[in-house]
Structures are given as structure tokens and as C-alpha cells.
Structure 1
């Protein structure tokens, strides 16, 4: 009976956040250790139905159990509103596909919510440290309203953010006559509808990619917040003098810098957990990775340790290097010869693709067209600008597929550079070789193509 009471109290409603062990301790007036013991026994009983409870180390099991119970048993009487906008479904699903660790981030954020009536919580980290994946994981588990600023898709302006968030809040909270409301008004209306124990968390990724006129707060975020309203934000470190988030005195603000030495141990642990997942669990790459390890007479521990060190705690490095190993791109190298860090990986791949041996080739032209256009464009348009056969462009796109994002826009398959880190790498190439003829040619061809199209 005590286990049933504890579980029912923790998961009082499918629409409400679960109570944590501190809240349960206060509710039942028992020690936190007793609550943890009860929850442990509850997880053990449910593990037969939901095996991931056994595989998940540390906190977060209650959220997993809540999600699985809702998926399996909950039949809402009202039509279910889509948990997140259709425009972000693909990025959320892609980011959580191989998600590992980062529990220390979620726990710190939960503590911030517990300690403050409202506020802004920002995750800061260099490119490739997994900030977008953290937001995607939180949104997927909590079905929070969200917005992903995406520079390479030009989805990074305040008016687009407000339009998306307004629609999400209106649909979720049934807010009449709010089609033209600004964000502070919307937040006030939502706050008035929240019942005891409820809260609104809006997750926004990549503030550093926002484009807007100077002088205004980032995305026009409000300087004050109603109670029970929180923002979960991410960004790269700002340079001196860059635009920052401004809030009124008394509004709680906290930053968690993933690059801080306090979190080095957690980052390294999560990186190793990701590598272990790839070599032991991932159905797509594990067998080929294990074969690469075994043919070099390596131990799993040695492989995990050395790849983790080479990654420099960068998940984007692992996202590229581990599949490359599995596909045989590094069959001619030993473990110690793998590239060190993400930028060296990009450079080594650039060389391996023959980009420096044959400058000005079609591959380079296609990449620089994507860089200069900076919005999703179809293969036909790339071929038209490059003045080559569409089939030849398609072959190039296939060779660089892991660096490109492919999406269906109005029935047409379009391409953009996948990640800001690779975009930065290409920009670096352009800046180092800005006098090269290829850049003038690419921009001239783009201008000619657009001029013909407008004629």
C-alpha cells in the first residue's frame, strides 16, 4: 500500500509534472532516504515492462516511468494537442536518437525551479557540446513549448519565434482572442490558468544564432515573468560586448557553463557513456565498430578512453568520427592516428575527400554554393548555379550527406549545411583563401542565376 500511495502521489496527473523525492518526503513526512528506497522498489517492479528503468543510471527514472505509463495506458478525454510544432519534430527526434547522460544539467535545472518562483536558466557551451540535444530531450520528455533557432535555415528571427510560441500557447492553454498578443500578455494569460503544482517551461535553443536589430532584448524576451513561468535557454559563450539577456532586478537568472571545470568530470563521463552505447547497443554501428576494435587487438576500455580524450568532450566529434570508423573511413589508421578534436576532424575529412589536391572541383563549388545561399535549396537550383548536370550535383550531395540537412519543402527536397560547426569551418576556409578565384566565380554564378530567374 505504501508503494501505491507513493507512486500515486508522485504521478498525480498525466498533465502535471511528477513530484521529486524532496517533495514526496515533505508530503508524507518521512525521510528522503525512505522515499528513495520506495521509488527504487517501484522501479524494480516496473522494470519487466519497461527495461530502460534498469539501464538508466542515476536520477530521471521517475520521468521515464511517467512517460511510459502515459504512452501505454493514458486515454485522454480531450483531443491531444501536438506536443511540439511540426517544424521541429525532425530535429527533436534526431537529437534524442542516441541521447546519453547530461543528468547533472537536468537536476540543476530542476533545483533552480524548486528554489525560484520563476526565472531564466541558460545552458552555455561551445558548439558540439550537446546543448540542442539537451533541449530536445527536455522537450520530448516534458512536452514543453519550444523554439529552435536555426541559422542555416534562417529560422532565427524574433517575429518567427513569437509566431510559433504564440500558436503553441494558444493551442495548449485555449487562449481566446490572443492571435495578436505579445509574449508578456500570453505568459500572463497562461499563468492565470496554471493550477497548484503546475508550471510553464518554454525551451529556446541557440540564442547565439538569433538575428535581430540591436537595442532590443534577445527575441524580445520579457524582462519580468509571472510566477510559475520559466525559460530554459541555450547559447554559445558570448564574446565581450555581444548582446546579452537583460532582466529586471529580482528576476532569478542562472547560467550553467558546460565548459566550466566544475563539470569536466560529468562531461567526460557522458562522453564515455555515449561511446559505450555506440559500441555495445547502437544497432546501426555497433557490429562494425566492434570489428574495428577487435582487428586492432584493442580493449573496449582502451578504445573508450582514447576516443573520449580525442573528442575533447565534443559530442559532434563523436557523431561524425564513430560512424566514419564503422564505415571503414579509418581502416588505414590506428587509434592514435584518429584526428584530435572537431576542427582537425573536419580538416582531415576535407583532405581525404581530395579537396586540397583538386581545388575548384565540383564538390568544392557545391559546398560554397550552399554556404553562400545559406537557405534550403533544391538540387536543381544548385545544378543551375554550378552550370552542370543535376545528376552530378546529386552525386556530390550523396558524398557529403552527413554534413547536410535534407528536408521536404512544398514537395521539393532541399539541402542546407547541417550544423553551425561545419558552417564555421567552411567560412574559415573562405576567409583564409578569400582571394581565390572560386569564391568570385561562385558568387558571380549565383548572381547570374538569380538575375535570370527574375527576368
Structure 2
């Protein structure tokens, strides 16, 4: 199993809440690769005396596993997961962080971090890892404030390691004036391909034919792949891989219960069931066109197909940014859903006229 470079010794010694420990354990199991990410994190911390390092990736691209592995290899790092129930509000985040470092004497997150920074030795680092920043609910925060009230400026020796899905810059929810780096996993297709191959080989006894087949179906998506290997059907078949390749090929095209539930969450976020009927109908018509295209499609083409204003279509697509892959063709942005199995799932949810 590959390991990450270790940063200089941090000052904090956290005690993770039980629910965080469970996530870290689950997400870091059978972990392979991602050395290019860990190297980038290490270099950033070495190069900058403070800052934000953000990992961006589509749903299922392995962001949570990367963070869990990093924390496992660097157990002094504080950890928080905003995707867990009840963990997506600023008050809970600040309470958890202060509890992990065992302090109550502070007036704000910034003052807390300043206290820690003042106690750091020259080479010590204080690192807080936050998974799923896109899940943060900031409706009860002060208007214009950063997500989780993350500081605009950071004191010396303080770092945040963040993960989030793709987003528009104007919807980042962060205004920072301190060193930062963004690593988009989509910008490393070859590394992702090699890592997903290594991950699959663990399960198929290095059967290269099956590895190649499953790698192609995975589209470099770890959630899709891990959900398949976790399902009961695979566990029944795994002892006879060489004899049942056709059966596995057929089985992998079916959604596992976990993956179907995961996609259902996406669908409800794209078209909330409790939203006004007119809004649902318009979004459904946009989605209807999007799922019918086998490749990419422009907002102009969607608008023309459903006889709608292109601006209104673009607004919907912008709100769906985390679930879409963007490609520029002849100066125009084209869209597609982030995984073909998600597209297949959505095609069954939308009522085609």
C-alpha cells in the first residue's frame, strides 16, 4: 500500500469523534495510489508558511478516501466531515474543532487559530482537514461570510486541507487572502486511470482481462467501482473469477443498492421534490435533453430543443455544476453527466414525453 509524504510534526493531538473514526476507517481501507495528490500537499506545506489546499473532484472520484488516508498517515491532523448528518453547520464545526484540541477559551475561529499559532515552534504545523465542503449549510451564517466562517487570513503555521465537488468561482463560498492551491483530480486522467487499475487488481487476483474491463466501466470513478465490489453478489462470485467473467460483466452493469441510493441523493439535489411544480418541470425538461445525449451538449442546444431561454438553461446547469463534466468546443461550453451509470439512472427518473 502506498503512503503519503509526512509533513513536519504538527502541534495538535486530536481525539476524533466516533462517527469520524468510522468514516476514516471505512474510507481508508484497501487504499492505493494517489501519490501525486499527497506529494502536492506535502510540497504546498513545505513551500508556504500557511494556507488553504483544496482537492476538487466529481462525486465518487476518491476525495474522501484521500483525506481519510492522509489523516491515517498523519494522525495529528484535525479532521471534520461536513457530509455526515448534523455536521453541516458552522456552529457544530467550530465546537468539534475546539473539542478536538481541548480548548474553550476563544471568541471566534480566527482567535482560536491565532492562539494555536502563537504556541507553534518554527517548524510545527497545525492542520485541519475538512471533507465535503460542498455539503455545508450556510443559511444561518452571517451574509457574505465564508463557509464555516473559515478565516480570510490565516496565522503562521496554520493550514486547511479541503475537499469539495466542482463549483463555479462565484459560488465558492470562500474569500481568502492567504496562500492557496487547488488540485483538480480531473486534470490528472493518467494518474487516475493507473490508480483505479491498481484498486481493481486487489479484488480480481490481478486478472488483467477483468481488470481492463472493469477499469473501462469505472470511468475512473472509485465510488462506482467500490460499490460493486462491496455488494453481496460480487462476494458470492469472487472465488470463481476466471470461470464467471461473463456473469461479472453482466452484474457490473446493474446498480448496487448503495449506488442507487447515492444517485437518488444526487437526483433530489438536482430537482428537489418539494420545489415548486413549475421549477421541477423546467429542470426535468433540461435533464431530459441532457440524459438523451450520448456525448456532450451545449446550453444553446438544450434551450433550442425545449424552446426555452438559453440564460435560464445555463442557470440550471450552473446549479448542477457538481454533477457535470464541462468541455469547451469551438469556444462554447458543452456539458455531460459525470458518469454514464448516473446518466442511465437519471434516464429512468425523468418522464420522457
Scaled to the shorter chain, the TM-score interval is 0.5 to 0.7
TM-score by length of 2: 0.66
Contact 1:188 1:226 (8 Å CA) reproduced: yes
The alignment covers a number of residue pairs equal to 262
Residues 1:163 and 1:304: Cα distance change in structure 2 (over 3 Å): same
CA distance in 2, matches of 1:126, 1:89: 24
Other structure's SS at 1:271 match: helix
Q: Which residue of 2 aligns with 1:257?
A: 184
State the Cα deviation string for residues 176-212 of structure 1 (Å, max 9, x = none).
xx34431111111111111132101110011111001
Residues 1:137 and 1:276: Cα distance change in structure 2 (over 3 Å): same
Contact 1:306 1:335 (8 Å CA) reproduced: no
State the Cα deviation string for residues 407-448 of structure 1 (Å, max 9, x = none).
xxxxxxxxxx6x5x44114667986xx99xxxxxxxxxxxxx
Q: Which residue of 2 aligns with 1:193?
A: 119
Q: What is the CA RMSD across the aligned residues, in angstroms?
A: 3.2
2:78 corresponds to 1:145: yes
CA distance in 2, matches of 1:241, 1:255: 15
Contact 2:126 2:157 (8 Å CA) reproduced: yes
Other structure's SS at 1:215 match: coil
- Within the candidate set 423, 443, 449, 2:265 is matched to 423
Q: Which residue of 1 aligns with 2:109?
A: 183
Other structure's SS at 2:152 match: coil
Contact 1:118 1:252 (8 Å CA) reproduced: yes
Q: Which residue of 1 aligns with 2:136?
A: 210
Q: Which residue of 2 aligns with 1:90?
A: 22
Task: Return structure 1 stretches of 4+ with deviation > 3 angstroms.
Answer: 80-83, 327-340, 425-431
2:22 corresponds to 1:115: no
2:227 corresponds to 1:320: yes
TM-score by length of 1: 0.52
User: Which structure 2 segments of 5+ residues have no match?
Assistant: 239-243, 278-353
Residues 1:430 and 1:184: Cα distance change in structure 2 (over 3 Å): closer
CA distance in 2, matches of 1:422, 1:138: 29
CA distance in 1, matches of 2:271, 2:171: 24
Residues 1:167 and 1:101: Cα distance change in structure 2 (over 3 Å): same
Greater RCO structure (CA 8 Å; 6+ sep): 2
Q: What is the deviation of 1:87?
A: 3.2
CA distance in 2, matches of 1:217, 1:107: 28
2:160 corresponds to 1:231: yes
